[in-house]
Amino acid sequence: MTDPMLADDDRDLRLLMEASLRDVHVPTDRLERVARLRGRTLRRRRRVGSALGGLAAAAAVVAVVGSGQGGTASVDGGVATEPSAAAPSPGRGAGTEQPPGIWDMPVREMERRAQPLLPPGVTLSEVQRRNLDHAPGESDRVVGVLRGVLTREGRPGRGALEVMLVPTPTRTAAAPDAGPSSIPTPGTATPSRAAGGEPDGEPGGEPGGEPGGEPGRVRGADDGVPYVAGLIGCPPGNLDPAAGATVVDCTELSDEAGTHVGRVLTTRTGSITQVESYVLTDDGAGLVYVATASTTDAKWSASSTPSADRALLDAAEVAALARSASWASWTPATEQD
Amino acid sequence: MTDPPDRPSRRGSDAASSEAEFSEFVVARSPQLYRSAYLLAGTRHGAEDLVQTALARAYAAWWRVRAADDPVAYVHGVLLKGFLSERRRRSSTELPVATTPDTQHPDAAHHDPDPADRAALLAALAELAPVDRAVVVLRFWEDRSVAQTARDLDLTEAAVKNRSLRALRTLRGLLAEPSHPRNGSPR
């Protein structure tokens, strides 16, 4: 019950809030996309932590196996506690569990594979091998995420590097009355679930890089086609950089057979330049995400502190790193860190 | 429109159901989450980060969210705790600085019917201590009762009333001014 003496104030405040926020643009699609990426990272960390909890006898062995920072700047903030800090048990969250895959690659293995893929003169250091922000019951082991600092001979400054290996996102159901997707599907006009009325899509529009409207094919495309296309395509309506970011360039990537497999996107937010690339693995089951920025801050935004005048890797170099077959050549069944 | 086929070898029907539920939840609830977060954080960047964090945690433990008595309130609670935790963390490492309402965002004019009102409101909210700001958002935006707000913020009901009173008076003073300095935020 509102204090009577405040009745006018709180009513006025409520009206002001409603008027001020009525037409705020809500980036629903981006919120969901990033939440899924960050959520998968959290879930992997918890799954491993829960599993380790039942293997106390093996703790000493496990301790030397993995370590690392579980978060990434743009996809994992490492933030607050939840209403309940209890870690979910493996299996109970089966609805969102993933099978083993490259996303289980330990950070040390990722670092070992990344080093030779970097251009000459580029050094990766300060790799975060331990998760210092883990919740109770979570492991400090990190898999699927590599985060460190780049330096380059002859180039002043430093920049962040992130590599993330994730299962290919899928959208398995649609809201029946939700309308067309905000993410155009390369080569198809198939609508998918709506993104809360976001205005930045061009449903059914001709995909960029597909002159004449010749349908393209997304490698490994099946259930997640529209969503995956949103991550790897470059049509104008598909570019959805973080709020306030300016797109400098976007290039779609194809394999030797001409199959569309990824994109590399350069954006600028304030004084921060970011280059990121998504590339599908050959089997389409996974995505390799590589990003670098002209800051070493944990989070990249207009308020980040620049640590270089531009990103330490250019678009071609980021794309090459993301496209390397080295990532997909690792299998959890036969290789361990 | 038919649902795209799932990969039988990778996901079962339960997986599909959970993924669909999460998508539906985001579509249905993200506008309210985002607007609450906007009032708390004061910027689009901050709002996005808060909502993404809350949704990521919901996604990571979706079984727990769906089992909650009130899944919506549960995720709002995650968002709120995220905001307070982030503010506590930042307050120990950063100097208070002015928030930057999104008056300069290139899309602001397009999306905002009254940019001056929004800028004034966000700037005034930024002057409040984080807990007071949370009280205002819960009480007057999310229409929570004093008891609910007290429970959500781990405060006594008297403290909620006191903070509400203080915050409203502060806001009334700030919003009545033609313009007010935004060179610091009380902690």
Residue-wise pLDDT tens digits, B85-102: 877 766 544 443 434 444
Do residues B50 and B124 both lie within one domain? Answer: no
What pLDDT does A277 receive? 94
Which pairs count as long-range contacts for B104-109, CB under 8 Å and 24+ apart, including other chains? Answer: B105/A243, B105/A244, B105/B44, B106/A244, B107/A25
Nearest in space to A225 (alpha carbons), one of B8, B1, B4:
B4
- For residue A50, count CB atoms less than 10 angstroms from its CB and return exposed for 0-12, middle for 13-18, buried for 19 or more: buried
For the whole model, what pTM was predicted? 0.45
B3 in a structural domain: no
B50 in a structural domain: yes
Which of B97, B123, B155 is a domain's end point? B97
The position carrying tokens 């922000």 is: A133
ipTM for the predicted complex comes to 0.74
pLDDT tens per residue across span A33-65: 888 888 887 776 665 544 433 333 332 222 222
Task: Quote the minimal CA–CA distance from A335 to chain B in Å.
Answer: 21
Contact A317, A84 (CB under 8 A): no
Q: How far is CA A123 from CA A120, A184, A264, A272, A328, in A?
A: 8, 38, 21, 20, 23
Q: How far is CA A259 from CA A163, A186, A218, in A?
A: 23, 11, 7
Residues of chain A in contact with residue B34, where contact means CB-CB under 8 angstroms, are 24, 26-27, 31
pLDDT tens per residue across span B149-166: 999 888 899 999 999 999
In this structure, which amino acid lies at residue A111?
E
Report the CATH number that the domain containing residue B166 is assigned in CATH.
Answer: 1.10.10.10
Name the residue in chain A with its Cα closest to that of B71: A83
The Cβ of residue A309 has, within 10 Å, a number of other Cβ atoms equal to: 12
Query: Token digits for A163?
Result: 């590599």
Do residues B19 and B64 both lie within one domain? Answer: yes
How many residues are present in chain A? Answer: 337
Probe site for chain B from A11, A16, A166, A181 (most B CB atoms < 10 A): A16
DSSP string, A90-150: TTTTGGG---SSGGG-BHHHHHHHHGGGSPTTEEEE---BS-TTPPTT--S--BSEEEEEE
CB contact under 8 A, B60 and A302: no
Q: pLDDT band at residue B13, thresholds of 50, 70 and 90?
A: low
DSSP string, B15-60: HHHHHHHHHHHHHHHHHHHHHHHHHHH-SHHHHHHHHHHHHHHHHH
CB contact under 8 A, B19 and A99: no
Do residues B143 and B117 both lie within one domain? Answer: yes
Nearest in space to A145 (alpha carbons), one of A41, A270, A12, A285:
A41
CB contact under 8 A, A10 and B168: yes
Q: How far is CA A35 from CA A28, A157, A162, A266, in A?
A: 10, 31, 17, 21
pLDDT greater at residue A325 or residue B113: A325
DSSP-derived letter for residue A205 is P
B103 in a structural domain: no
B105 in a structural domain: no
Nearest in space to A269 (alpha carbons), one of A240, A238, A296, A242:
A242
Name the residue in chain B with its Cα closest to that of A96: B15
Do residues B24 and B93 both lie within one domain? Answer: yes
CA triple A195-A102-A334, angle to 5 deg: 155
Query: Token digits for A175?
Result: 């809201």
**In degrees rounded to 5, what are phi and psi of residue A316?**
-65, -40
For chain A, give the percent of residues with pLDDT over 90: 30
Where are any strands of DSSP class E within chain A? Answer: 122-125, 145-152, 155-167, 246-254, 260-269, 272-280, 286-293
The position carrying tokens 């809360």 is: A196
Contact A161, A149 (CB under 8 A): yes
Compute chain A's Rg from CA coordinates: 21
Q: Is B22 in the A-facing interface, judged by CB distances under 8 Å?
A: yes
Do residues B28 and B86 both lie within one domain? Answer: yes
Do residues B80 and B142 both lie within one domain? Answer: no
How many structural domains is chain B composed of?
2
Report the CATH number that the domain containing residue B23 is assigned in CATH.
Answer: 1.10.1740
On the question of pLDDT at A171 being above 70, the answer is no
> Which of B:90-119 have CB within 8 Å of A?
105-107, 111-114, 117-118
B102 in a structural domain: no
Where in the sequence is the domain holding B156, given as residue range(s)?
A: 112-179
| Highest mean pLDDT (candidates A135-139, A141-145, A196-200, B35-39) | B35-39
Contact A112, A274 (CB under 8 A): no
Do residues B170 and B116 both lie within one domain? Answer: yes
What pLDDT does B54 receive? 93
Probe site for chain B from A5, A29, A32 (most B CB atoms < 10 A): A32
On the question of pLDDT at A220 being above 50, the answer is no
Probe site for chain A from B17, B19, B33 (most A CB atoms < 10 A): B19
Residues of chain A in contact with residue B99, where contact means CB-CB under 8 angstroms, are none
Which of B73, B97, B121 is a domain's end point? B97
The whole-number average pLDDT for the span A269-279 is 92
pLDDT tens per residue across span A312-336: 999 999 999 999 999 999 988 644 4
